[in-house]
């Protein structure tokens, strides 16, 4: 959107920052709410995609990070730290660079997508690859921040949630109402907590008449909220949500219960099928974890839990370029050709 000033300036009256603080922003937010014709036809609903991959670092994390980094800078911190499955670290590294702070990121070794690692390198983060999973990384980040002068920018820091709620405002501002149902991938559960806070604030202030039902989707191998207990060794191809013990557990359960929503677990096959469908039929290339909102949409439409005719928003949380390896899985060899128009015509079977 031309002239979009970033979420803090766009929602100045709803997102608190310290008095007189310099706003650290890359003009995040203001992302498209794209009607999805093919998904609407498949489900008998009116489906929109909230495309968070167009944020400055390619994921929704920038919404929370602008607020967290604004606080870090205002409080005089010199360094920030986070644990991440990749997107939070990319975002923290970028916003720290913008703020002139140093950043340290703790990531699970070998389990973060290539594009995200490339971002952390490019933005100049200190990258620490931990021989453990995300949950181990988060515990290390919390312990480090509580004992040393370094500011924690994970969503256990509530100012991150304040930023992430802005996506709910944007959805309502575009639709002129809240959707009937909002579908989200759920990992550490900060995002579903943020959306629910945003929807409740708009409804409480009479900006919209009602709140949506919140549908949260996890991967079968990493589905603590669906199972109702932490998972010690989470596994899924959707590495962004490979999390066994979500920090915002209570926020997620509250969102589900207060909204008459649900949690559901999807197989990696279902997630990958939705991932391919989104790119091939809607022209929207997302990372695997993001496709779980759409896999969940399709599953709940099919089993009847999603009422026909609903207005549904699926957030697709991160850009497909984050994870080139998954995109190239199963790619057939690309043919090499001589510089010859006849060879092109033959290869394309143009007769």
Pick out the residues of the known binding site for pyridoxal 5'-phosphate: 87, 187-191, 317
Residues 6+ apart with CB under 8 A from 106: 81, 82, 83, 84, 128, 130, 137, 138, 140, 141
- Least distance from ligand F0G to the Cβ atom of residue 24, Å: 19
Nearer to ligand F0G, 290 or 300 (CB): 290
- Tokens for 314, please give them: 């699926």
Q: 236: burial class by Cβ within 10 Å (0-12, 13-18, 19+)?
A: buried
- Least distance from ligand F0G to the Cβ atom of residue 262, Å: 15
How far is C-alpha 313 from the chain's CA centre? 14
Contact between 45 and 308 (Cβ < 8 Å): yes
Complete edge-to-edge strand list for the sheet that includes strand 79-83: 126-130, 102-108, 79-83, 151-152
Q: Contact residues for ligand F0G (CB under 6 A)?
A: 59, 61, 84-88, 185-192, 240-241, 287, 289-290, 317-318
Contact between 346 and 312 (Cβ < 8 Å): no
Nearer to ligand F0G, 68 or 289 (CB): 289
Q: How many CA atoms lie within 13 A of 247 on its CB side?
A: 22
- Least distance from ligand F0G to the Cβ atom of residue 276, Å: 17
Nearer to ligand F0G, 156 or 289 (CB): 289
Nearer to ligand F0G, 77 or 290 (CB): 290
Q: How far apart are CA 302 and CA 293, in angstroms?
A: 14
Q: How far apart are CA 343 and CA 351, in angstroms?
A: 11
- Least distance from ligand F0G to the Cβ atom of residue 287, Å: 5
Q: Which residue has the tokens 């181990």?
A: 136
Nearer to ligand F0G, 123 or 209 (CB): 123
- Least distance from ligand F0G to the Cβ atom of residue 197, Å: 12
- Least distance from ligand F0G to the Cβ atom of residue 339, Å: 41
Nearer to ligand F0G, 112 or 308 (CB): 112
Backbone angles phi, psi at 263, to 5 degrees: -115, 145
- Least distance from ligand F0G to the Cβ atom of residue 240, Å: 3
Other CB atoms within 10 Å distance of the CB of residue 69: 32
Angle of helix 87-99 relative to helix 114-122, nearest 10 degrees, comes to 10
Q: 195: burial class by Cβ within 10 Å (0-12, 13-18, 19+)?
A: buried
Nearer to ligand F0G, 101 or 112 (CB): 112
């Amino acid at each position: 959107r031309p002239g979009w000033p970033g979420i803090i300036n766009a929602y100045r009256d709803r997102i608190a920052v310290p008095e007189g603080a310099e706003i650290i922003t890359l003009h995040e937010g203001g992302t498209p709410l794209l009607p999805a014709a093919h998904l609407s036809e498949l489900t008998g609903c009116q489906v929109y995609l909230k495309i968070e991959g167009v944020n400055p670092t390619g994921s929704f994390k920038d919404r929370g990070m602008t607020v967290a980094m604004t606080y870090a800078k205002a409080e005089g911190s010199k360094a920030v730290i986070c644990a991440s499955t990749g997107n939070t670290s990319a975002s923290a590294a970028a916003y720290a660079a913008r703020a002139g702070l140093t950043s340290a990121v703790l990531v699970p070794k070998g389990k973060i997508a290539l594009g995200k690692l490339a971002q952390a390198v490019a933005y100049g983060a200190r990258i620490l690859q931990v021989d453990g999973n995300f949950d181990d990384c988060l515990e290390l980040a919390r312990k480090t921040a509580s004992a040393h002068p370094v500011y924690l920018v994970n969503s256990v820091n509530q100012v991150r949630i304040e930023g992430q709620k802005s996506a709910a405002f944007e959805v309502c501002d575009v639709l002129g109402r809240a959707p009937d149902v909002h579908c989200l991938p759920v990992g550490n559960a900060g995002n579903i907590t943020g959306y629910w806070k945003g929807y409740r604030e708009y409804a409480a202030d009479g900006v919209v008449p009602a709140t949506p039902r919140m549908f949260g989707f996890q991967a079968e191998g990493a589905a603590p909220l669906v199972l109702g207990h932490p998972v010690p060794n989470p596994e899924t191809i959707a590495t962004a949500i490979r999390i066994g013990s979500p920090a915002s557990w209570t926020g997620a359960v509250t969102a589900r219960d207060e909204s008459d929503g649900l949690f559901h677990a999807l197989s990696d096959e279902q997630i990958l099928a939705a991932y391919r469908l989104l790119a091939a039929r809607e022209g929207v290339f997302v990372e695997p974890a993001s496709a779980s909102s759409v896999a969940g949409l399709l599953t709940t439409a099919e089993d009847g839990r999603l009422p026909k005719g609903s207005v549904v928003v699926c957030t697709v949380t991160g850009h497909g370029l984050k994870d080139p390896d998954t995109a190239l899985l199963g790619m057939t060899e690309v043919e090499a050709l001589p510089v010859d128009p006849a060879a092109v015509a033959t290869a394309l079977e143009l007769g």
